[in-house]
Structure 1
Amino acid sequence: MTDEEDALHPSGFLTEEQARELFSDMNEVILAGEEMRRLRSEMITLFAGLGWTQERIARLTGMSQPAVSKQVAKARPGGPTPPPDIALEQHDTPWLEGRLWGLAEEISATLDDSAHCTRFTDALGRGRKRFTPQNVDALRRLVEKDLRERRAELPGSHRSAYDAIGRGLDVPAKTAATGAAGTGSAAVRRALARRIQRDRLGSED
């Protein structure tokens, strides 16, 4: 039976559109898992290059030491990765996106998950949304709405952080490209900036 005949003779179980949505959801989760595995591999290589022992990395990642060793050996032909600059004030786009993500998560946590940005940050964390220009703009609008409508409930450090991030993201691409490009892939830089931004805000609250 051809695809056209299948469409004309539904099984009575699911329509083709329902099946398409079902597989689409599965594919998103699978893709997110693959991306997270790649990110973890890069982070393992990064920490190993900084001198962390494989046993220590294994304990922190929940992996076995042989599995960590395999990841490190796989990356070895390219040589050690230079240690990244982890100063908060950096201006390449992935770093700023990571800071925005971390800020949004802190806003969500401060507002007990009732923030406008909560669902969006959760989708980013689960890999259901990715860092496209459109999604970054959407997240900025949600963060701005939270900062505006829930101002009395949020520390001033959140507004200050957003102002700095927003100025950086508003810089034209050619100008931003001349700034610090940073070490590591875009995903690694987002992950580092996200963590550092959250820690900075947590220490200031």
Structure 2
Amino acid sequence: MTTSSLPSAVLFDMDGTLLDSEKLWDIAVAEFTRTLGYEVTPEQRESTLGNATGDALRKLFDIADVPEADRDYAGAERWVSNRVVELFDGGIPWQPGAREALDLLGAAEVPLVLVTNTIREVTEHALGTLGRDRFVATVCGDEIPAPKPAPDPYLRGAELAGFASSDCVAVEDSPTGARSALAAGCRVLTVGPEPVADGAVHLGTLAGASRETFRL
């Protein structure tokens, strides 16, 4: 453990947790679903939040009743990823309190790890906003055996930080991500309008977070 009962490391999700980037993904997803001939509803879009790209695309193909033989997952991933990169490069807003929370933990010398289901190619563009030097490691959805909600991403994040996952705190915004972190044995904090998982502590926002917020 580090001093003041802080966790050994804090593992942060990216989209919707640190960055207010889901609205940019919303644009890309809506544009993609129009190529399939339908308009995605807010409820359908919500069902894909926090999902790995392949899982999200499968749900969208299912909703559009695209026959399995006609599903070009690789092409769809390239289309969506390229569009998101274009949108990210136009600037990504921070979530309230997120930058300050990273600074607070960095000043306390708590190692930080970025753990996201987003693929590496897109994550690299987001790191331009986040600041890659803030993190001792980054884990992306296309770099581990099974993405969230499997525990693999958070187990890998804790491993790269050099600590047991049970000594780490994870911060998430989606049910998919929270289930992943809980399954890995992390203490889980969540942000967003509503609680997303039993067993997680719901903060609502990182605005005003203190060292006490992250205490194990």
Q: Same fold (TM over 0.5)?
A: no
> Which one has the bigger strand percentage?
2
Q: Which has the larger radius of gyration?
A: 1
> Which one has the bigger helix percentage?
1
